[in-house]
Amino acid sequence: MKDKKKVLLLGPAHPFRGGIADTQNHLAKNIESLGHEVTVFTFTSQYPKLLFPGKTQLSEEKAPEQLNIKRKIHSFNPFNWSKVAGSINLIKPDYVIFRYWTPLMAPCWYSVACGINKNIKKIGVVDNWIPHETRIWDKTLTRLFSKHMDGFASLSKAVGDEISSENPQLPVWKGFHPIADKLPQAISKEKARIVLGWPQDKKIVLFFGLIRKYKGLDLLIEAFSQAPLNHSGVILAIVGEAYEPSEKYTRLIRKYKLSERVICDFNYANTQKSTFVFCAADVVAQTYVSATQSGVTPLAYHYKTPLLVSDIPGLRTPILEDKTGIVSEIDPEKISENLQKILFDDTLPNFQEAFQKVRKKYSWKSYGQSLMTFMDQI
């Protein structure tokens, strides 16, 4: 290993919940496992309550062991930002990693970056360059965030391409979304369904994760009313907290007379529950109308659950490269046809073999090593 570095990560982490916080914990632990000194600054307050559509921002799960996480950042209090920069300068890190997933963070990150000593390299690790649900000020705020960055890393090629087109003068590592390395082991489909109370004798399609308009759940529900899926007896399981009124979807279920074929669980799924639902499902459906990457994909990879994804760059690339599912046009009739195919067509390739081959390819260890190499070269 090269010289030991000091690395400071800024962004969501425990005790905050959600995919970005979880991946921040994984990234920190894996950089630390390479022999570097890692500190994580997370939030005292992440979102104002008025801007947070969920039930709670905090996790009920245990804190990651032996990870130095400090709650320092008030994302919407400008008087706090110079203090954060001062705390960073006292630590004297070699690298500061700014986690960027929403333009709402741009003013805070810009101000913190302005106050950091110039000899400290500033790297943006980007989940979304422009949000799926866009607003008129998004591009302006993202350009503001870019001004003091020395380079960027992404969690998908699609996001990396977006960053490069906007910042041709800066280095960009076009990374991948790793598979979490501390998830519970898979259990049998039979056992998972017993725990959940799901039927043993039916094929089950899982829609998983926070429910937002751009994720196309309405299209998936309609697909279950279309031939050939409408007479197949296949069950749709919806598991995830709704970030918009859930009544929008329950009305559609009633409209298409699907009440007996749809399981609705509009609650946040913790790690244990996620294990059960992925192991219980035959297919995971991501019928998104917009996406640059998704944390659902590596979960499906870990539990070896085949995927049906929309034909958009951020979702289709790994599925086509790894042969871990089917890519579908974003149309209810086509979604119905392709779900029927992935569930019942015995001529399709062996998805389980494909999952086994790609586990090392998407490890957090590989991501951490590549990110450190990239930062060393800037």
Whether 140 is in a domain gets the answer: yes
Whether 368 is in a domain gets the answer: yes
349 shares a domain with 200 = yes
pLDDT at 349: 72
Report yes or no: 98 and 10 within 8 Å, Cβ to Cβ: yes
371 shares a domain with 350 = no
DSSP states along 268-301: ---HHHHHHHHHH-SEEEE--SS-S--THHHHHH
Q: Which residues of 346-370 are buried (b: 16+ CB within 10 A; e: fewer)?
A: eeeeebeebbeebeeebbbbebbbe
Whether 184 is in a domain gets the answer: no
Whether 353 is in a domain gets the answer: yes
Whether 279 is in a domain gets the answer: yes
The SS3 assignment for 99 reads strand
Return d(Cα 341, Cα 329) in angstroms, integer.
Answer: 14
Return d(Cα 256, Cα 268) in angstroms, integer.
Answer: 26
Q: Which residues of 57-92 are buried (b: 16+ CB within 10 A; e: fewer)?
A: bebeeeebeebebeebbbbbeeebbeebbebbeeee
372 shares a domain with 342 = no
pLDDT under 70: residue ranges of the chain: 1-2, 47-60, 347
Q: What is the DSSP letter of 231?
A: G
194 shares a domain with 171 = no
pTM of the model: 0.87
pLDDT at 5: 96
253 shares a domain with 205 = yes
231 shares a domain with 210 = yes
372 shares a domain with 314 = no
Enclosing domain of residue 237: 189-358
**Which residues are paired to 235 by β-bridges?**
204
pLDDT at 107: 97
Model pLDDT for residues 185-243, shown as the tens digit of each residue? 999 999 999 999 999 999 999 999 989 999 999 999 999 999 899 888 999 999 999 98
354 shares a domain with 233 = yes
Total domains present in the chain: 2
Whether 183 is in a domain gets the answer: no
87 shares a domain with 233 = no
251 shares a domain with 213 = yes
pLDDT at 138: 94
pLDDT at 49: 66
Model pLDDT for residues 271-305, shown as the tens digit of each residue? 899 999 999 999 999 999 988 788 899 999 999 99
pLDDT at 59: 59
Looking at residue 305, which CATH number applies to its domain? 3.40.50.2000
